[in-house]
Structure 1
């Protein structure tokens, strides 16, 4: 241990980064040399479990995060059962802050989260209640992931997206019962254009997903990567996600004509509307470099043969 302790701080911090945050913090009891070393870590992961441990960790974060010495916190991940530490308004503004929240029960995040000027990446998963204040502003946010979250009302998603002027990467996995359709109706009345959006990943589990996709395509002139997928957890509840795109396009979306390079669609069931939409993208994306189309697993030999015929047909649609 004495030999390790004589190593420079920079090297010891690299070692600590490979350890779970809880283990890295525990090294503070080794000696005076290690006592505060963990406070210079730039990536932190805190996991709340149940009852006593949860409250112990919450208290630890509340007391220690404001004293953290790293000039830049690159990533802060929280996984919790309920509640959250008062960290957003206590911690000083850090460049390049990345936050990930995963909740197992309905949790409302602090309003100050939506005005964090240094936030560059935000991931919200499961029962997070998205309740966006009127003056939301996330000027640095480039990556946003929303997976099965709950929206307070039909305006919440629109307010969140419109507060992200330089958004480049968007992942949407809606709940079947959420406000996503109404949200985008309200959003597009305001004339939002995603000029900086380059990567879009959208789950096909919701009944309105295709309308949502086409709306974003029309107003994302610099989109380079598009992925449509079906989450494995949704395969049973969404056995036949609908594709409704007829009469939704009065002209070819600009991104297909000028920027789209990668197109991936996994979990398709081979419906005619799905095939027609795929053909539309393949025929009009003149700068497309790679396309990946994957069907759902076949249950019978006839289905397998049918899917092979469809793939052969689609291959002739690639420009």
Structure 2
């Protein structure tokens, strides 16, 4: 501990900011130098959990009153079922008076009533709400002039209009992250934010209840450069053209391809899993696309989309995964059951997609099973991709060594038009 005491005060405060506040307070017992350091910590982390409610509230009150940091950089409140509305109101008002920049509330599926003053906080840069039902949100006079990031993880509101009003009050918002369950009260999640650059929407189906065709989202964010949509239950998705889009990951079980016409065509990196596949008349030309990930359940329209990607360099066949938890990934694996031994559309035509002749360098296949349609697809690339440098096949882990060896021999004996093409099989 003596060695830590020799560190610069700014560094010590950073260390204390990374632990729950009640632990940073205990460092006051270490030495005279540490006696008051905890009072200057700019980041406060309170975990009330299921502890004594009154005692926990007193701790938060006391620390907020004693804290002397010139600016409160962040306050995280993990409330459990504790923390009365009066307490939360008071703590939030104090944080706002201290020019708080980052706020996080974790409520464990209980209602959360935030003070009206929060909705006009001028200093707030990041607001995170987790596992709560937000009530008493004003429909007018919402203004977060500095808010850049809004994270809503399994948060519910009482109506669609509240979401629209909240987002309209964020004129400089650049990042929005939304996760929601299928039993949410908000049916149509509308994102109309001209300044938005990064959007993530994760929809998780909860229970077996069927969803109506009025459940979905509308996205009007023309400045987006990064888009992730993973939905298990939304029946519609409406997009506008996004000319600055660089990266998109889209998985929709009920995708209406007409809504996608021209909206994703500026992307350089794209991951797609759509059921049903895109209508040929609504695909558009992806003239900037260099990297494409296609879900293996979409194998039957791979040839179709390749005819609209003239500059494609890397093509991956992979079970679609968004940046979500392992539990969600396990749910996504059900996608594997939705495709059989379909025949790819390019086998019915004589012309070869332009990208196979002029640009495609790498083909990868994750969780290859050696089905007839998979084998024919790989062989098609080996036979027709004149610029191909590498074909990398990673077989499904559950397949035994004898079967893997047989798959390797089948592919290794296939015709290759590119003399520089290497076949890697694992």
TM over 0.5: yes
| Aligned positions of 1:83-102 closer than 5 A | 83=83, 84-85=87-88, 86-94=90-98, 97-102=101-106
Q: 1:58 aligned to 2:63? A: no
For the residue of structure 2 that corresponds to 1:151, the secondary structure is coil
Higher Rg: 2
Contact 2:216–2:236 at 8 Å: present in 1 too?
no
Q: CA deviation at 1:6?
A: 4.3
1:147 to 145, 148, 153: 153
The Cα shift of 1:211 comes to 7.3
Aligned-residue offset at 1:117: 1.1
Three-state SS of the structure 1 residue aligned to 2:91 is coil
Equivalent residue, structure 2, for 1:129:
134
User: Please, which of 260, 264, 269 is the counterpart of residue 249 of structure 2?
Assistant: 264
The CA distance in 2 between the partners of 1:183 and 1:308, in whole Å, is 37
Paired residues in the alignment total 286
Aligned 8 A contact 1:264 1:291 in 2 = no
Corresponding residue for residue 224 of structure 1: 225
**Stretches of structure 1 lacking an aligned partner (at least 5 in a row):** 185-191, 231-237
Match in the other structure for 2:241: 254
**Further displaced range: 101-110 or 157-166:** 101-110
Deviation at 1:90, TM superposition (A): 1.8
The DSSP-based 3-state class of the residue aligned with 1:119 is: coil
SS in 2 for 1:197: coil
Aligned-residue offset at 1:7: 3.7
Partner of 1:160: 166
2:132–2:155 CA contact under 8 A, matched in 1: yes
How far off its partner does 1:65 sit? 1.3
Deviates more, 1:278-287 or 1:158-167: 278-287
Q: Distance in 2 between matches of 1:160 and 1:284?
A: 35
Q: CA deviation at 1:308?
A: 11
Q: Deviations over 1:150-203 (max 9, x none)?
A: 21334221211111111111122234343433664xxxxxxx842210011112
- After the TM superposition, which segments of 4 or more aligned residues of structure 1 sit over 6 Å from their partners? 208-211, 270-273, 278-282, 307-310, 316-319
1:297 matched residue in structure 2? 333
The structure whose RCO (Cα within 8 Å, separation 6+) is larger is 1
Could you say what secondary structure the match of 1:22 adopts? helix
Which deviations, in whole Å up to 9, do the C-alpha atoms of 1:45-95 show, x marking residues without a partner? Answer: 21112241x332221212221432222333221111233532121235455
Worse-superposed segment, 195-204 or 77-86: 77-86
The 2-side partners of 1:27 and 1:61 are apart by: 17
Distance 1:277 1:199, change over 3 A: farther
Equivalent pair of 1:204/1:210 in contact (CA under 8 Å): no
Q: For structure 2, list consecutive stretches of 5 or more residues without a partner in the other structure.
A: 206-210, 258-273, 295-318, 321-331, 348-352, 360-426
